[in-house]
Amino acid sequence: MPPLPASFGVADGVLRLDPRDPGFYQDPYTAYEELHRHGGIARWAETGTLAVADHGTVSALLRDRRFGRILPAGEDGRPDYSDKPPHLADFYAIEARSLLDLEPPTHTRLRSLVTRAFVSRQIEHLAPRIGAIANELIDGVAAEGAVELVEAYATPLPVRVIAELIGVPSTDAPLLVDWSHRMVAMYRLGRTQEVETSANAAALDFAAYLRTVIADRRRKPADDLVSALIAAESDGGRLDEAEMVATLVLLLNAGHEATVHQIGNAVKAIIESGQDPARLFCNPDSTAATVEECLRFDTPLHLFERVAQEAVTLRDGRQLQRGDRVALLLGAANHDPAVFERPGEFLAGRAAKPHVSFGGGIHFCVGAPLARLELAIALGTLFRRLPDLALAVAPHYRDSWHFRGLERLKLRFRPQGTALTP
């Protein structure tokens, strides 16, 4: 077994682990395995939360209505961010209306509108367009014999897909990526004031940009998500413009950030597994099974926090009080040996078991169908076009454990149209 992170220790129900420890964010699974050996639940000293790793408890708490994302300020389910510092006013103006930071009844109202508008875009009909974008990106590198996949493929593909779906020009993709990266950095543990200032500026620019897009769609409606949300907004006043901006920011950020990392993580896992990609993607059933194993094996989202809304007693007898925070370790739950046999191995043909990569309960990822479709097409197209992909350099993960993704993924392959080198 690989060595444990230097900062790791667990004893008497207390976990000591620095999330910024390179030994952890490069390989969290060794620490997860040890945590499972100690029962899968421990008080995490560095974060002030209860760390939950076992699959059964994570799954249950994702669905338990005694837990929420926030402690609502009132009966409408909205957070109170009035105590946030002035230099984060624009960031929290968006967060206060984001589906991720809302509870019923406001969450119920907004999610129902987003779900109807999002699903009405008929996700499955996007397949030809996703395939066309994938092939176009591969065409740009196929003759080179080498590629840095994160920048050349994993990032532009989902960004262009979600931008076109929402109704944002794909030529603005670099702006969207920059704003998204800077805002998502706010969720890192140990963030600096520089990160906060950058995130707030990004939120201000992102909101101004989207208000311009919304104004344009008010004048000229189209077959896109912005137009669909405008129709919902005008239908009895159920969605105001600030809520629309926050919803679009969330969809744009979540609609590409996780998929970028999942594509990179999945390609690395498949190559390192030594399994034949031609067999993994030979038909719809094997493709679907491979996608689910990619999501389980190295999911991009490793942390989902919940807050106790009342006093709760957990399965091990542990008492939680209202306001106590629970760190649901999704990546650890997906590697629970009590549920997944040989969890540390990439086995695309393993019996189907329910992973928790998309969360659960009322905050289950609304974009899960699109994410699965993008991953199936992105991976299938890539390995069909470049079947002999191999690692050119040992990959390294970013210093962002909770949102796990590769800094770079440098690959080599036989250039199309050339003979194999002896």
Work out the average pLDDT over 43-66: 95
Q: What is the pLDDT of residue 401?
A: 83
Q: Is the pLDDT of residue 252 over 90?
A: no
pLDDT tens, 179-189? 998 998 898 77
pLDDT of residue 122: 65
* Rounded Cα gap, residues 244 and 94, in angstroms: 10
Q: Which two tokens stand for residue 295?
A: 């999501």
pLDDT computed for residue 270 by the predictor: 98
213-222 pLDDT, tens digit each: 999 999 999 9
pLDDT, tens only, 84-101? 999 999 999 999 999 989
Q: Flag whether pLDDT at 402 surpasses 80.
A: yes
Predicted pLDDT of residue 421: 40
Query: What mean pLDDT is predicted for residues 237-249?
Result: 86
Distance CA 233, CA 351 (A): 44
pLDDT score, position 255: 75
Domains of the chain: 9-412 (1.10.630.10)
For residue 249, what is the enclosing H or E element? helix 241-273
Q: Cβ distance 297 to 29 under 8 Å?
A: no
Give Cβ neighbours of residue 418 (< 8 Å, ≥ 6 apart).
145
pLDDT tens readout for residues 281-302 = 999 999 999 999 999 999 999 9
Give 417's pLDDT tier (boundaries 50, 70, 90).
Answer: low
The two tokens of residue 121 are 């875009």
Among 362-366, 393-397, 415-419, which is the least confidently predicted range?
415-419
pLDDT in tens, 269-278: 999 999 999 9
Provide the H-helix boundaries in 274-367.
Answer: 277-280, 284-297, 330-333
Provide the b/e sequence for 258-276 (b: ≥16 CB within 10 Å): bbbbbbbbbbbbbbebebe
Per-position DSSP letters for 354-407, written without gaps between them: ---TT--GGGS-TTHHHHHHHHHHHHHHHHHHSTT-EESS--EE-S-TTB--EE
pLDDT category of residue 124 using cuts at 50, 70 and 90? confident
